[in-house]
A and B are shown apart, each in its own frame.
Chain A
Amino acid sequence: MSKPDVLKILQDAGLDVLTCIQCGTCSGSCPSGRYTSLNTRRIVRKAHKGGDILHDDKLWMCATCYNCQERCPRGIKIVDAILVIRTIAVHEGIMLPEHRDVSRLVLEYGHAVPINNATMEMREGLGLGSFPETVHKYPDALEDVKTLLRSCEFDKLVQE
């Protein structure tokens, strides 16, 4: 399989990172970068230099707070670009195990955070139904969600 052309995919999505002047406003504004090795400026540079950005674990350290995107003097949609690069990585089979786990929860329950016994007790104590008015309470609705996920082949995408 040929290597995906990250820069072209970004450009097709209307995300031009080539106007970056490497000023570092993004990195200076990044709350994650204070505590992780995420350096947004380097991510942007890697995206337009064609480095192996898809295997870069820093891609997953972005909390998507949008500070960099709001402050970028060149108006580059940095977070949107990071999300697109993540998507390319996932479609290349590169995904953190914890994110596969969250995906499995949605595939099974239709919720990324499904209910548990402790919460059911809290709900009853508050006079709410044991199950909320969501897919948890309506099996047909959950089937619809599962049909959609299969239709999008999300099950195949996130399996190992």
Chain B
Amino acid sequence: MTKLSLFLGCIIPNRYPGIEKATNLCLEKLDIDCSNLPGASCCPAPGVFRSFDKPTWLALASRNIVLSEEMGRDVLTICNGCYGSLSDANNELKDNAELKSSTNAHLEKIGKEYRGSVNIRHIVEFLYGEFGPEMIREIVVNPLNLRVALHYGCHLVKPSADRQHGSVERPVFFDELVEATGAESVDYPDKMACCGAGGGVRSALLEKSLEMVNHKLSLIRDANVDCIVNACPFCHLQFDEGQAEVKEKFGLEYNIPILHYTQLLGLALGFSPEELGIDLNVVKNDEFMGKLKEPWQE
């Protein structure tokens, strides 16, 4: 199986370390050969830095990729933003000799060279492609009795010309991985809609960004689910911290728990909510935490 290095990005290690822990536990349990990627930086964030200056975006992204090239490992991302940024940069540099050469002129100053020898993976498409839902289902020791609102997040599947994971309007691969844990992926309106965080909107226009996430939260509440599952820490933050902000700004309270897929899978593989850092979210929902405890009490 492909050898990987784990690219952490910014939000997971620096705001939601439970997702980092959950990822480590799942990778180990699944016997995936994945090393650290010491010295990696911001991917850099596609919506903002790519907007500002393309050479800067490519220089920082290529440095992160080179660190993994030096180890002869593909890059494993656990964030849609990092996935989009690194794979777009990797594709552009592989396809365009001029860009590669101008980027390498910057990298030369730190004694590095981009070669274009590795691929960028996202943990969801990696698990789907290399394991598949059936194999995941066989490894599950604690089938989850949960109703889940799945949020793919835009950059996992779009732009489709670059991602090539099939339908962007009605994809199913991530739902299949969720259902492999025993959980039910519940349909809801505007399931594929954006959480509103990306493109620098959350950082510069918070209230507008919250109106977008509030729209999704209201539809998800009506679907009567136990939690929201995502594969991107920026969506995760927007849904989690965003609920506190929506409460403060609009007076609306949802209290819907948010899990990264590695945390959902971790539960199904037998790890406790605390080991997976699920209790470290801003949203504290005792009823949900009690429900997660049930299998361990039996």
Contact = CB atoms under 8 A, between A and B. Distances in A.
Given A99-B203, A126-B277, A79 B212 contact: no
A116 interface: yes
B36 interface: yes
Contacts, number: 214
Interface of A: 31-32, 34-36, 60-67, 69-70, 77, 79-80, 83, 86-87, 90-91, 95-96, 98-99, 101-103, 106, 110-116, 119, 122-123, 126-128, 132-138, 140-142, 144-145, 147-149, 151-152, 154, 157-158
Contacts of B37: 133
A90 B201 contact: no
B18 A126 contact: yes
Nearest to A35: B211
A27 to B, nearest CB: 15
A148 B63 contact: yes
B47 interface: yes
B210 to A, nearest CB: 9
B270 interface: no
Interface in B131-163: 154-155, 158-160
Nearest to A135: B41
Given A36-B208, A87-B54, A98-B203, A128 B154 contact: no
A15 to B, nearest CB: 13
Given A35-B208, A83-B50, 13 more contacts: A31-B194, A64-B155, A79-B159, A90-B53, A96-B200, A102-B45, A103-B52, A115-B14, A128-B17, A132-B8, A133-B37, A138-B39, A152-B56
Given A31-B194, A144-B63, A144-B110, A99 B208 contact: no
Contact of B109 (A79, A137, A151): A151
Contact of B14 (A36, A111, A154): A111
B72 interface: no
19 contacts: A32-B212, A34-B211, A35-B211, A63-B47, A64-B47, A65-B193, A67-B158, A77-B159, A98-B204, A112-B48, A114-B14, A115-B14, A122-B280, A123-B13, A126-B17, A128-B20, A132-B8, A148-B106, A154-B52
